[in-house]
């Protein structure tokens, strides 16, 4: 890790819950959030924005985070919720659910981005928080590993779309598969490429 990528560790002993979500951009599948309260006495090396890590490193770190953190939790919003309330609101709902699932009550919640979910604790949104705050980095890692694993499983239920490869993101292959194979129940109908495919079928 270069000094530019280093993550600042909160030195006061407050119980900080870091929160992040993954899956805003994909055309298919849920949006998944995680909340993590790290143990200051049980450091984890190599925490950074999940997008900067290899898949193998993310998987290894996810196991370590779950073992060493004081508490961790996943929250999600399903495709029908995304279509009903929009992806931003669904992401905030998923984050709220992740925080609600923690077995330890945080004294403060730090969220990646510029919008705060509704939680019964002091909450602050931090832009690029997944690169700056270790607890948010940890949340980004376990959220991404959880969602990627789910998309790989969905690939076997919905073959031909390449879900294991692109994890539901709008690649050229995925857009073409929507036109060739049609829209499934795991696709987000409020997203333009999915709507376009539905219109083409009609």
Residue 202, pLDDT score? 77
Q: How far apart are CA 93 and CA 81, in angstroms?
A: 9
Q: What is the pLDDT of residue 14?
A: 83
Nearest residue to 9 via CA among 47, 35, 53, 52? 47
Where are the chain's structural domains?
A: 3-157
Q: What is the pLDDT of residue 8?
A: 45
Q: What top-level class would CATH report for the domain 3-157?
A: alpha beta
Q: Is the dihedral of CA 66, 68, 73, 78 positive or negative?
A: negative
| Cβ count within 10 A of residue 130 | 29
Question: pTM for the full model?
Answer: 0.92
Paired tokens of 61: 């770190």
For position 201, what pLDDT does the model report? Answer: 83
Within the chain, which residues score under 50 in pLDDT? 1-11
Six-digit token string for 22: 């993954």
């Amino acid at each position: 890790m270069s000094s530019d990528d280093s993550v600042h560790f909160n030195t006061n002993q407050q119980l900080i819950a870091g929160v992040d979500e993954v899956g805003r951009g994909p055309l298919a599948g849920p949006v998944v959030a995680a909340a993590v309260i790290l143990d200051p006495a049980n450091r984890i090396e190599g925490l950074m924005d999940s997008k900067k890590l290899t898949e193998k490193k993310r998987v290894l770190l996810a196991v370590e985070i779950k073992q060493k953190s004081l508490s961790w939790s996943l929250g999600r919003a399903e495709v029908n919720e995304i279509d009903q309330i929009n992806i931003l609101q669904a992401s905030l709902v998923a984050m709220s659910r992740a925080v609600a699932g923690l077995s330890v009550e945080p004294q403060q919640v730090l969220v990646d981005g510029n919008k705060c979910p509704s939680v019964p604790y002091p909450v602050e949104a931090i832009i690029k928080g997944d690169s700056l705050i270790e607890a948010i980095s940890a949340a980004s890692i376990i959220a991404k590993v959880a969602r990627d694993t789910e998309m790989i499983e969905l690939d076997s239920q919905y073959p031909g779309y390449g879900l294991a490869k692109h994890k539901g993101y709008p690649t050229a292959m995925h857009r073409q598969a929507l036109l060739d194979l049609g829209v499934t129940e795991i696709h987000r109908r409020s997203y333009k490429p999915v709507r376009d495919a539905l219109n083409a079928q009609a």
